[in-house]
Structure 1
Amino acid sequence: MNYLLPQYLVDHCPQDERHFACAPGAFIKAWKRGVEIAGPEWFGDGTHDGLQGVASKWDLRPNLVLLNDALGVLSSGQRMFLAAMVSFYNAREGAAMLRRCGFEGLSDLSGLDLKRRQVIADLVLHYNGW
C-alpha cells in the first residue's frame, strides 16, 4: 500500500518507516469509510456533501453532543461502532461511551460485522494521533 510516498522512500526506507510515513493518509481513508458506514450525520457538518469535501480528519470530527444524546436509542452495533470511532478522536469521551455500551474489551468488537471490524482494524493500524 503506497499512499503517495516518493519513490526514493519506497526504495530506501525500512518497511516500518514507510508504514508510519503513510499512516496519516491511510488513517483518513479508513476514517472516511467509517463515517460512510456510520452515517455522515454524526460527523463534521453532518452532511453527505461535507463528507465529499474533506481536506483533513479535522473536517470529520465526531459530533460528541449529538452522539451522546442518541447513544441510548441506537442499535447495539451502531453504539459500539460509533463509540469505538469516537475513542480515536477523544480517548476519554470514547471510553465513557464504550462503557455505556457495555464494552469490556477488544473481544466485544466481535459483535461488529466484517466491514466495521475492518475499519476499526485499519484505524488501529494507522492511528497517529488526532
Structure 2
Amino acid sequence: MNQLLPTDVVDQIMRETRHFERAPEAFFKAWKRGAEIAGPEWFGDGTREGLRRAASKWDLRPNLLELNDALGVLSGGQRMFLSAMVSFYNSREGAAMLKRCGFEGLSDLGGLDLERRQVIADLVLNYSGW
C-alpha cells in the first residue's frame, strides 16, 4: 500500500529542511553581528581584525575568563547580552553568568534594545549546536 503525504505536510517538511540546511551560516552571521555590537575584545583573538576575518563561529569563541572578570563593571544591558550569547557557546557558564546578572527568565531579555534582541532571536532560531 503506497500512501502519499498531504501536500501541506510535504511543504512543511521542505521548509524545515531548507531552514536547517541554512541555519549554521545564519547562526554564524548572527553571532558575528552580536560580536560586533558587544565589541571584538570579548571574542576570538580580541581584535577588530580577528572579527573581520572570522570564517566560522569557532574563530569567535567568547573569551570566558575576561568576560567573567569584567562582568561586574559592564552595564546591565551589556552583561545581559554577553551572558545570553555565552549561553549558546557553553550553557553552564552562560547560565552562571546570567544568574549573576539577575536573569530570571526570557522576559528579562525585554530590557535589551531591538538590535540586541534581534541577534538573540536569530541565534535561537538558527542554533544547531556549538
Q: What SS does structure 1 have at the residue aligned with 2:128?
A: coil
Partner of residue 67, structure 1: 67
Distance 1:54 1:43 in 2: 10
> How does 1:29-68 map onto structure 2 within 5 Å?
29-68=29-68
Partner of residue 84, structure 1: 84
Note the alpha carbon deviations across 1:12-58, whole angstroms, 9 max, x for none: x7000000000000000000000000000000000000011111100
Distance 1:57 1:32 in 2: 8
Uncovered stretches (5+) of structure 1, i.e. residues with no partner: 1-12
Q: What SS does structure 1 have at the residue aligned with 2:41?
A: helix
Counterpart amino acid of residue 15 in structure 2: Q
Q: What SS does structure 1 have at the residue aligned with 2:68?
A: helix
* Pairwise CA distance, 1:89: 0.2
TM-score by length of 1: 0.90
TM-score by length of 2: 0.90
* Pairwise CA distance, 1:93: 0.1
Counterpart amino acid of residue 51 in structure 2: L
Question: Residue 121 in 1 paired to residue 121 in 2?
Answer: yes
Distance 2:30 2:112 in 1: 16
Counterpart amino acid of residue 78 in structure 2: Q
RMSD: 0.7
> How does 1:10-21 map onto structure 2 within 5 Å?
14-21=14-21
Tell me how many residue pairs correspond in the alignment. Answer: 118
Q: What SS does structure 1 have at the residue aligned with 2:36?
A: helix
Q: What SS does structure 1 have at the residue aligned with 2:104?
A: coil
Runs of 4+ in structure 1 off by over 2 angstroms are none
**Largest Rg, 1 or 2:** 2
Distance 1:55 1:82 in 2: 21
Counterpart amino acid of residue 66 in structure 1: E
Q: What SS does structure 2 have at the residue aligned with 1:115?
A: helix
Question: Residue 23 in 1 paired to residue 23 in 2?
Answer: yes
